[in-house]
Structure 1
Amino acid sequence: MRIASLHVYPVKSLRGMDVGAADVERQGLRGDRRWMVIEHDGSNLTARKHPPMLGVRAVADGAAGLRLSAAGLPDLHVEAPGTDVERIEVGLSRVGTATPAGEAADAWLTRALDRPARLVWLDDPTRRSVAPEHGGRPGDTLSFADDGPLLVTTTASMERLNAWIREAHPEHATLPMERFRPNLVVDGADEPFAEDAWRSMRVGDVELRFAEQCDRCVMTTIDLETLRTGKEPIRTLARHRRWDGKTWFGVRMVPVTTGRVAVGDAVEVADA
């Protein structure tokens, strides 16, 4: 097995970027979900609630900066706020406060999303923990990601899901892996959904520990081109991958060691 692709999402719920290599830190891939969009009351704004967020792309621009792009607007460069900027309260669990990016970023996002929005930065991801109910252990840290530092999927599982969709709906377009927003995509698994049984994963010097299987939400049903919500893949996952009242695709992993990984690197796993 090998790493087929790597993906970083600098801003939670915005489109991200494909990378050829990435540094794995304790809270996930470097730069992944260090930024978040919030409403003016501090509650986090996600594409589940506002699908047009997936029409905005964020890519790394400088050491810790961002470049935001959206149709009809000039790109915007955003620098990470300094340590002298006062934090504000945010509603995301287990973080409490975050640092505002500033008026220019807020105004740009408000135009891009056609609703009031603010951009905030997580100054220190080590101050947010992985919850025990999501496989966290003492010392496990987390960015603005929902529940786990890394999401791992396999090409074999994606191919099986698309085959299931075509069996029931031959006219349906092939779904891209990007719908699931993984960080690491693995190619060469023996069978679809083999990752459900992986207890650990090693890529070079980087070791990852299984945290939990990943339950999927309505965000996966948003077409990334039209930004309209459809029925797939939740409809098909509900037929084949539903238990405990949820649908499942991919696994969340926690870094045990840190280091650099790259597309093409060999992957070793240990099953339960």
Structure 2
Amino acid sequence: MKITALYVYPIKALRGIDLKSAQIGPQGVSHDRRFMLYEVHPSTGELKKIQLDSHPRCALFEQQIVPGSQYGESTVVVRYHSNPPQDSGTGEEDNALKVPLEPDMSTLEKMDVVLHSSPAAAYRMGDSYDAWFSQRFGVNTILVYLGDGRRAVLGKTLPPKAAQEQQQRGWVSSLTSYITGSQGSVETPWVTFSDVAPLMVTSESSLRDVRDRLLNGLPVEMYKFRPNIVVDGQGEDPWAEDFWAELTITPGQDQGDNGVGPEEHTLQLTGNCVRCISLNVDYKTGKPAEGDPGQVLKRLMKDRRVDTGSKWAPVFGRYAFLDGRHTDGITVSVGDDAEVTRRNTERTVWDWPGL
């Protein structure tokens, strides 16, 4: 197989950025989902996560990472593509928001946030950012940065050694020990604002099956499934990834021609991704799609409800962690070889408490 696409999402839920090469560490692709948006209840102040399923307007926000040479520091540039487009005289389409990729946390207000029952300390980016997003979402919105915060992995979607230790302690005990810092003999993996694992791997062979068999040829773009790593699935049956346990990536020959051969990189694939109505969002309108494009989730549910831990949700893709041996991280590129080097005999079971 070959890697055919790589994506990063600096601000969770907004459009992804297509990469040719990616730096990957224990928390996934560099800068992935380090920022997140929350809706603030006007009277109670309660925070509600902003994601595509509940806020389809997220699809109208485009992100771009701009190196520091242009603005003085590396920046995430966000542009809002309003629908219908604003009159050109307003300058709306060119009114970009520039977010520092690595903000100075000493100047930011610290606050506690929760995503999928996993709490974290984060930093509020400030009024100017909040006002920009609030105007476009039409609700009181805040932008937060994870910074030095971290979220515990609550379910069993963990690499094998960490999963074994968590099973011995139980997830409540694991969360407590994670917060207090007494994490046992295995360094406990943690996540940013990614849902439950640092990486998402998907297969083009499975997407073709969705298009050809379930949607009668209706085109559906892979970016709607919000992966980090896409493989072509060559030599693998559609949905074979349900059983993938380990994926070994080998850089192309031009990257490994150093006399000793290319270095192999290993990912541990630990759980299925169960899907929600975000698949039905029209990225041109920022609304639920009409007609057949709005039926993607329903069509998948016909025969892809294959995870007994989440029996009402269809599966597409696998969650993954970088193997713990790669302490310095790895670099992967489009065109790299990918090989399944370990398979499960049975499907893994969804197991995130309360989600």
Common topology (TM > 0.5): yes
Deviations 1:30-76 (A, max 9, x none): 11100000122333221211110111122223465311101234011
Aligned 8 A contact 1:99 1:121 in 2? yes
CA distance in 1, matches of 2:49, 2:332: 30
Aligned 8 A contact 2:16 2:223 in 1? no
Q: Over alpha carbons, which structure has the higher Rg?
A: 2
Alignment of 1:77-92 (within 5 A): 77-79=98-100, 80-84=102-106, 85-92=108-115
2:298 paired with 1:235:
yes
Alignment of 1:98-109 (within 5 A): 98-109=122-133
Identity of aligned residues (%): 29
Equivalent residue, structure 2, for 1:33: 33
Deviations 1:208-260 (A, max 9, x none): 10110110001111111122214322111111211322211011011113200
Q: Give the alignment's TM-score, normalised by structure 1.
A: 0.92
2:213 paired with 1:164:
yes
Alignment of 1:120-199 (within 5 A): 120-124=144-148, 127-135=150-158, 137=162, 138-167=187-216, 173-187=218-232, 188-199=234-245
CA distance in 1, matches of 2:135, 2:59: 14
State how many pairs are aligned.
267
Equivalent residue, structure 2, for 1:118: 142
Equivalent residue, structure 2, for 1:52: 57
Structure 1 residues 23 and 107 mapped into 2: Cα distance closer, same or farther (>3 Å)?
A: same
Please provide the CA RMSD for this pair: 1.8
What secondary structure does 2:314 align onto? strand
Structure 1 segments of 4 or more deviating over 6 A?
A: none
Aligned 8 A contact 1:56 1:112 in 2? no
CA distance in 1, matches of 2:75, 2:112: 22
CA distance in 2, matches of 1:17, 1:194: 27
Structure 2 letter corresponding to 1:203: I
Instruction: Give ranges in structure 2 of 5+ residues lacking alignment.
Output: 41-45, 68-72, 82-91, 163-186, 251-263, 345-355
Structure 1 letter corresponding to 2:9: Y
CA distance in 2, matches of 1:166, 1:96: 40
Deviations 1:126-177 (A, max 9, x none): x32322333362521211011111110011000000012343xx6xx31101
Instruction: Give ranges in structure 1 of 5+ residues lacking alignment.
Output: none
Aligned 8 A contact 2:65 2:76 in 1? yes
What secondary structure does 2:133 align onto? helix
CA distance in 2, matches of 1:64, 1:122: 17
Equivalent residue, structure 1, for 2:313: 246
Q: Give the alignment's TM-score, normalised by structure 2.
A: 0.71
Aligned 8 A contact 1:153 1:184 in 2? yes
What secondary structure does 1:95 align onto? strand
What secondary structure does 1:90 align onto? strand
CA distance in 2, matches of 1:268, 1:67: 35
What secondary structure does 1:163 align onto? helix
Structure 2 letter corresponding to 1:219: S
Structure 2 letter corresponding to 1:49: S
Structure 1 residues 61 and 120 mapped into 2: Cα distance closer, same or farther (>3 Å)?
A: farther
CA distance in 2, matches of 1:153, 1:189: 15
- Larger CA deviation: 213-222 vs 59-68: 59-68
